[in-house]
Structure formats: structure tokens, C-alpha cells
Structure 1
Amino acid sequence: MQSLDERCLRYLAEAVGCGSVRAAADKLNVNASAVSRQLAQMEVQLATPLIERHRRGVRATPAGSLLLDYYRRQASDREDILAKLTDLKGLRRGHIDVVLGEGFVGDLMSGLLQGFWGRHPDLTMTLDLAATNDVVRRVVEDEAHLGLVYNPPPEPRLRTHLAMPQPIRVLVRADHPLAAHPGPVRLADLAGHRLGTMHPAYGIRQIIAAAERAEGVQLDPVLITGSIGVLKQFVASGIGVTLLPAFCAAQEVAEGSLAALPLADPGLDGVEAQIVTRLGRQLPPAAGTLLQHLARGMAGEAKGGARNPSSSR
């Protein structure tokens, strides 16, 4: 039976993940020729190509993708076993990788993580901000234990543990003319105002684009960014308005500096913020404990709209 060399599998994973053999070699601190040679030997051994080269670098063939899935499962299983062995000594050590949209930072830092570290002070954590599509990718490829994501696209490899309705609102400064608008705002009502939006890779922008198509409206933003913080400053400075879930600016709305106005399009009400993991992944104890803590805390903070945690999605 053919064997799979773990070093070769790692080279394959890094080459595909970095997008090129040279970038993978730099990350691994080895010669690019060594990476190319190992990959070529594995292709000969398995009698099938594993990567294909294109103008922007390399990508996995179907056979390469199968090997990558195997490598990630092996790495995940190894991590889980080591974490469970640690757990036999009590939840005193462990590291958790979380990837999330920027809008969730306020919720986490407003007390959820403070309470978690109060109970588990020796656990460590990486929090990486990413666009919706990248949050999903990193979770399904086991680069992160947990993902906090807004309006993720359908993905059968994801498991949703908590889904909370988080409708999109028009965010304006409290003294903006739209703040006195009677009733829900239509997208067409924004035509005369300077608008800032997120990049298309973000779930927020994707759901707005669907609403534009449904209403037959085309918004023309003057500002496109990957930062919710930039959009909030854009609004707070009086330059213009934006479209964001209200929870992204909960503090500013509570303080009265910004106002969150409802929208008339029903499609902008039925969107959700979700806590997700890869379907079938057994989380290490530290990550599993954080998942339970976040699900309880975020469900408790939602005012009448959160669903119960679900294991069926």
C-alpha cells in the first residue's frame, strides 16, 4: 500500500494555501527547489498530478484537494487528542483560534471574553478579522476552531450552533435629515445621500445587493471599504450614511450619537449572525468551552430575537 509522507502533505498544503511554491518555501524556511522536488516525487508515487500552475500561482487538482482534506483531518484529530490529554489535568492549558467579522468585536470585548478569561485565565486565543467568505473558508479548512459570521453563503460543511436575527439598518448621525424619516426607509430613499458600503466579499454587502435587485434599485456608494470602523467614522463625521446591522454600532446608538433606522425591504430583516464550526469536527476542550460560553452569552444579550442553539444545521 502506498504511504503518505506527512512532510510532503505539509508542503502541498502550504503551496496551495500560499498560492505558490516559492511563497510556501519562504514560509517553511526551505528552498523552493526542495518543495518542488518533494511535490513532484509524491505525484510520481501516486501517479496523479496534485497541483496545477496558472498565472497567479498554483492550485490543487481534484486529487490534491482529496489529500488536503485528509491532511487537515489528520492535523485536527492530532490537535484534539493532545487537547483531550491536557484536559485530563483540568482545563488549564490550550489555545483557541477564532475568525470573525469585525462587527462582532464589540460584543466580544464588552464582557464575553472578560467573563471567559475570568474562569479560564491560562487559555490563550487568536482573534483574526476576515470577510464573510474567508471566515467560512478558514473554518471548513480547520484554520480556525470557531467562526462568527454574518449572513454566510450556503455551505454543507458548516455547522451552525447559534443563529441570531440581526436585521440591516440605515445608520445615520443623530442630527442627519434621514433621522426624522417617517416610517421605514426604502433603498430608493438613499439616492440623494452619500453612501458608504462594505466590499462585495462581505455578507452585509451581498444581502444588500440582493435587495437592490429585488427593488430594481442601484446604489452608488461614494465609499467602499473592508472596515466597519471606517464606515462608522464616515457616518459619525457627517459625511454620509451607511447600511449595517444595528449590533455593529450598538454602543453609538445607545449613546445617542448614531441612529439605526429600519428598512422597508423585508429581505433585509431576515438575515442572521451565526456561530459556526466545521461539520463533524470534534473541538478541543478549550474551544468547546468557549463555544458554549459565547452561545450562552450572545443568546442572552439578544433581545427577543435569538434562536436557541441548534446542532442540526
Structure 2
Amino acid sequence: MHSLDERCLRYLAEAVGCGSVRAAADKLNVNASAVSRQLAQMEVQLATPLIERHSRGVRATPAGALLLDYHRRQASDREDILAKLAALKGLRRGHIGVVLGEGFIGDLMSGLLQGFWARHPALTMTLDLAATNDVVRRVVEDEAHLGLVYNPPPEPRLRTHLAMPHPIRVLVREDHPLASHRGPVRLADLAGHRLGTMHPATGIRQIIAAAEQAEGARLEPALTTGSIGVLKQFVASGTGVTLLPAFCAAPEMAAGILVALPLADPGLNAVEARIVTRLGRQLPPAAAALLQHLARGMAGTLTGTSSGGGMAGAGEAGRGDRAGSP
């Protein structure tokens, strides 16, 4: 079997990641011809093309994609073993990469992370916001240790550590006319109310679109945005209503500003928030400790035993959800 040169693998990863050999060479501070020559030699050695050129640059062939996956796993395994060696002296150092949807931020910062840092003050962390598909991609490609994701698509390379039901709700201000609505709300009931929604490409909006089709309703949003924060301000200001999982607005609901109303469509009630990692990845001790802390804290909300904050439970229990689970 041919040996795989680490430098060549890095050249391949940068060429594909940057989109061109020249951009990769600039990033690596080497001559572009040297990158091209090394890639060509590896293709000859392995007797298969690794990149293909197109009008916008280069992309990996199926063989190149296999090598890139191998390279990413090697890098993550190297990082993980170094972290484990350091942990033999105690969990006093380590960095954790987390990628998550915007809706998780308020809840994490208001409780769960404070409890984690109280136990492990020397650990550092990167929190990156991303859309659902990008959260999945970055976890699968080992760009992050953990992912917090809402209703992810099927992905055999993901391992789910905790799945919590978090149905989509109608969020309204406490004094809004819909706040006194009895029973689950139908999408058709939103007609005549100014509506704000996420962009059509987002997972939340796609779930809502399927419910529109099933119910035979057609929503006409007055506001479309990629920001959950914008939608919450839209509702809190009294400008309109929105459709979001209630945990996205847990602080506003706890403060009595917003109310979450259940929806009638079954498809809007069968969605979940998940903690995920790449299947087969052995997490370094710092990331494993955070995973355990998050899973314990978030699962505790289902039984009412959580003491460190966490997402609202399956029925979004709290002062802001007047209707409870449908």
C-alpha cells in the first residue's frame, strides 16, 4: 500500500478548501507550482485523480474526498490524544469547539455554561452559530466537537446523545389578541395577524412550509429574516407574531413578555432539539465533560430536576407557555 504524505494531504485540503491551487499556495506561503507538482505526484502514486478543475476553481473527486475525510480524522485524532495526555494531569486545560443554532444561545449563556465554567474555570471554548445543515456538516467534518441542532436531516455519520421534543409554537406578546386563543392554533388562524418568519432555506421555515401544504393554508409573512433575535424583537415590540420553537424565547417567556401557543398541525409538534457528535469520534476530556454537563442539564428539564438552567422541557413548562403540550 502506498504511503500518504502529510504535506500532500494538507496541500489537497487547502486547495479544495480555498477553491483553487493558487489561493491554497498563497495561504500556505509556498509557490503555486510546488502545490500543483505535489498534487500531481500524489495522483500518479495513487493512480487516480484527486481534484478536478471547473470554471470556479477546483473540487475533490470521489477519491480526493476520501483522502480529505482521512486527513480530517487524522487531525482530530491527533488533537484528541494530545488533549487526553494533558488530561492525565487533571482537567485543567483544553479547548472545546461547539457549533449551534442561534436559538440555543440565550439558554446556554443564562445557565448551563455558567455551571460548567464554575467546575472547570481554565477550559476555553469557541461557540459558532450556523444553520442546521452547516451544524451537521461541521460536526461530521470534525470542525467542531459538539453540535446543538434543531430538527437535523437524517445523517448516518451523526451520533445523537440527547433528543428532546421541542414543537414549533406561535409566539405572541402577552397582551396580543391571540394570547387568549383557546385550544391549538391552526395556521389559518394567523390570517389577519402580521407574521414574521425565518428565511425559506432554514430548517424551521421548511417544516412550516410542509405544514402549510398539509393544512391547505398559505402564510403571507410581513417580515422574513435569518435572525431569531430579530423575530423576538418583532414580537416583543407588539409589531406581530412569529413561529419558533419555544426554547428560543425562554428568557422572554420567563419574564412574562412573550407567550407560546400550541399549533394544531402534527408535523409542527414532532420536531426535536439534539446534541450531536460525529459517530465514532472519541472526544477529548474537555469536550466529553461539556457533553455530559449539557446532556444532564438539558435532560433535567424534562423531569424538573435541572439546577443549572437549560432549555424548556417538552411542554415548554414555565410562565410563558399558557397552553402546555398539545
TM-score (norm 1): 0.91
Question: 1:195-210 counterparts in 2 under 5 A?
Answer: 195-210=195-210
SS in 2 for 1:281: coil
Provide closer, same or farther for how the CA distance between residues 155 and 214 of structure 1 changes in structure 2, counting only shifts above 3 A.
same
Partners of 1:103 and 1:205 in 2: how far apart?
Answer: 14
1:48 corresponding residue in structure 2: 48
Partners of 2:185 and 2:45 in 1: how far apart?
Answer: 63
Provide closer, same or farther for how the CA distance between residues 160 and 179 of structure 1 changes in structure 2, counting only shifts above 3 A.
same
Provide closer, same or farther for how the CA distance between residues 21 and 85 of structure 1 changes in structure 2, counting only shifts above 3 A.
same
Moved more, 212-221 or 159-168: 212-221
Partners of 1:218 and 1:104 in 2: how far apart?
Answer: 28
2:101 corresponding residue in structure 1: 101
Q: Which runs of 5+ in 2 are unaligned?
A: 305-312, 315-326
Question: 1:26-175 counterparts in 2 under 5 A?
Answer: 26-175=26-175
TM superposition shift of 1:8? 1.7
Whether the 8 Å CA contact 2:107–2:251 is kept in 1: the answer is: no
Provide closer, same or farther for how the CA distance between residues 283 and 180 of structure 1 changes in structure 2, counting only shifts above 3 A.
same
Whether the 8 Å CA contact 1:131–1:201 is kept in 2: the answer is: no
| 1:95-144 superposed Cα distances (whole Å, 9 cap, x missing partner) | 11000001111121112111111111111111000000000000000000
Provide closer, same or farther for how the CA distance between residues 79 and 207 of structure 1 changes in structure 2, counting only shifts above 3 A.
same
Partners of 1:232 and 1:37 in 2: how far apart?
Answer: 53
Kindly provide the amino acid, as one letter, of the partner of residue 79 in structure 2.
Answer: E
TM superposition shift of 1:4? 1.3
Partners of 2:55 and 2:10 in 1: how far apart?
Answer: 23
2:229 corresponding residue in structure 1: 229
Partners of 1:85 and 1:21 in 2: how far apart?
Answer: 36
Partners of 1:179 and 1:246 in 2: how far apart?
Answer: 14
SS in 2 for 1:12: helix
Whether the 8 Å CA contact 2:97–2:146 is kept in 1: the answer is: yes
1:275 corresponding residue in structure 2: 275
2:214 corresponding residue in structure 1: 214
Q: Which runs of 5+ in 1 are unaligned?
A: 307-313
Partners of 1:26 and 1:263 in 2: how far apart?
Answer: 53
1:311 corresponding residue in structure 2: none
Kindly provide the amino acid, as one letter, of the partner of residue 192 in structure 1.
Answer: G
Provide closer, same or farther for how the CA distance between residues 257 and 78 of structure 1 changes in structure 2, counting only shifts above 3 A.
same
Whether the 8 Å CA contact 2:25–2:35 is kept in 1: the answer is: yes
Kindly provide the amino acid, as one letter, of the partner of residue 77 in structure 1.
Answer: D
Provide closer, same or farther for how the CA distance between residues 302 and 103 of structure 1 changes in structure 2, counting only shifts above 3 A.
farther
Is residue 11 from structure 1 mapped to residue 4 from structure 2 by the alignment?
Answer: no
Whether the 8 Å CA contact 1:172–1:178 is kept in 2: the answer is: yes
Partners of 1:110 and 1:143 in 2: how far apart?
Answer: 25
Provide closer, same or farther for how the CA distance between residues 45 and 227 of structure 1 changes in structure 2, counting only shifts above 3 A.
same
TM superposition shift of 1:22? 4.1
TM superposition shift of 1:303? 5.2
Kindly provide the amino acid, as one letter, of the partner of residue 263 in structure 2.
Answer: L
Whether the 8 Å CA contact 2:101–2:131 is kept in 1: the answer is: yes
Partners of 1:18 and 1:302 in 2: how far apart?
Answer: 44
Moved more, 108-117 or 132-141: 108-117
TM superposition shift of 1:23? 4.0
Moved more, 223-232 or 190-199: 190-199
TM superposition shift of 1:26? 4.2
Kindly provide the amino acid, as one letter, of the partner of residue 242 in structure 2.
Answer: T
2:320 corresponding residue in structure 1: none
TM superposition shift of 1:33? 4.2
Partners of 1:45 and 1:174 in 2: how far apart?
Answer: 68
TM superposition shift of 1:209? 1.9
SS in 1 for 2:125: strand
TM superposition shift of 1:35? 3.2
Partners of 1:301 and 1:100 in 2: how far apart?
Answer: 19
Report % sequence identity: 89
Moved more, 231-240 or 50-59: 50-59
SS in 2 for 1:217: coil
SS in 2 for 1:302: helix
Partners of 2:193 and 2:31 in 1: how far apart?
Answer: 54
Moved more, 84-93 or 219-228: 219-228
1:310 corresponding residue in structure 2: none
Aligned pair count? 306
1:263 corresponding residue in structure 2: 263
